[in-house]
């Protein structure tokens, strides 16, 4: 699944490879998939991009936004998208949910596993989306200071009695963290995923902020997780400390066997000693 570091990585790769190129053919999908979130009819996906040039490519949260100059913006991400570049003599993927053929006959394809966003916005829709998204904190932006994080967490605490996993992932006021990076963040901060936000002490809160920044910046430097594939078919180099491979292996800090727990619709990997619940 694409999370903040993968969105940053893919946006950089698409920008470097495709910016300035003109789209000569577009196809919405060759295999219908009900969990791809489109916002237009198939015919619009196949006509509106024609003749447009790839402009600025940005990322926000776990979305990649590709400007189609003039006037349109293709959003991708929020799920299990795989991007690919297919040379003229290469075979297309068996299933794809978006295809652009560029003026040099290279094809850019997006195949979705699970679910994913593929909305094609005009400028007004893009501005509305941006306004909404900018209300969330971007954990890899310099504006994500401890003060900003702390203020957000205090407001979050007042409004609910939720666990730290909820504050960082589902409908979170922080953009782009999912179950993939959550495990390493909580392990480094010494917090159990079930821990209530209002029970986190000031020193732990500081550790949590540092862990978010460090885990995500290390992952960006390494091009995302090794379970995710980039535009050119190569996996990222960030190896999670706490994921399914860690189950029953000794904790790198204290040697306690790592446990798997199911919580809030996903597996969590925790060291009961380093991440006490109480």
| Interaction site with Zn ion (CB under 5 A) | 251, 253-254, 256, 271, 273-274
Question: Which of 130/272 has CB closer to Zn ion?
Answer: 272
- 252 token code pair: 């790198």
What phi-psi label fits residue 9: left (phi over 0), alpha (psi between -120 and 50 degrees) or beta?
alpha
Question: Which of 19/256 has CB closer to Zn ion?
Answer: 256
Minimum Å distance from CB 276 to Zn ion?
Answer: 10
Minimum Å distance from CB 269 to Zn ion?
Answer: 11
Minimum Å distance from CB 251 to Zn ion?
Answer: 3
Question: Which of 76/246 has CB closer to Zn ion?
Answer: 246
SS3 annotation, 194-245: CCEHHHCCHHHHHHHHHHHHHHHHHHHHCCCECCCECCCCCECCECCCCCHH
Question: Which of 56/247 has CB closer to Zn ion?
Answer: 247
Please give the helix or strand (H or E) that residue 93 lies within, else none: none
In angstroms, the CA 276 to CA 278 distance is: 6
Minimum Å distance from CB 190 to Zn ion?
Answer: 9
Question: Which of 162/194 has CB closer to Zn ion?
Answer: 194
Peptide bond into 47 cis (omega under 30): no
Question: Which of 23/274 has CB closer to Zn ion?
Answer: 274
DSSP state at residue 23: E
* CA proximity to 136, closest of 174, 98, 188, 162: 174
Minimum Å distance from CB 109 to Zn ion?
Answer: 42
In angstroms, the CA 81 to CA 111 distance is: 6
Minimum Å distance from CB 191 to Zn ion?
Answer: 12
């Amino acid at each position: 699944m694409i999370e903040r570091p993968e969105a940053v990585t893919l946006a950089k790769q698409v920008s470097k490879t495709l910016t300035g190129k003109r789209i000569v053919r577009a196809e919405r999908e060759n295999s219908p998939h009900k969990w791809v979130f489109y916002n237009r009819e198939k015919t619009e996906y196949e006509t509106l991009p024609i003749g447009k040039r790839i402009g600025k490519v940005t990322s926000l949260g776990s979305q990649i936004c590709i400007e189609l100059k003039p006037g349109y913006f293709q959003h991708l991400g929020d799920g299990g998208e795989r991007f690919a570049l297919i040379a003229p003599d290469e075979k297309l993927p068996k299933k794809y949910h978006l295809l652009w053929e560029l003026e040099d006959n290279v094809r850019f394809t997006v195949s979705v596993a699970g679910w994913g966003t593929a909305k094609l916005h005009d400028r007004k829709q893009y501005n509305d989306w941006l306004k909404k998204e900018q209300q969330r904190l971007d954990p890899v932006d310099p504006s994500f200071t401890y003060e900003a994080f702390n203020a957000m967490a205090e407001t979050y605490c007042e409004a609910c009695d939720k666990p730290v996993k909820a504050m960082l992932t589902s409908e979170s006021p922080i953009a782009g963290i999912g179950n993939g990076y959550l495990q390493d963040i909580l392990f480094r901060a010494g917090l159990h995923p079930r821990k209530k936000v209002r029970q986190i002490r000031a020193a732990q809160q500081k550790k949590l902020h540092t862990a978010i920044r460090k885990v995500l910046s290390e992952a960006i430097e390494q091009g995302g997780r090794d379970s995710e594939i980039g535009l050119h078919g190569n996996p990222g180099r960030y190896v999670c400390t706490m994921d399914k491979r860690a189950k029953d292996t000794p904790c790198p800090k204290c040697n306690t066997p790592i446990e798997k727990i199911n919580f809030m619709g996903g597996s969590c990997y925790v060291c009961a000693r380093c991440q006490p619940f109480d």
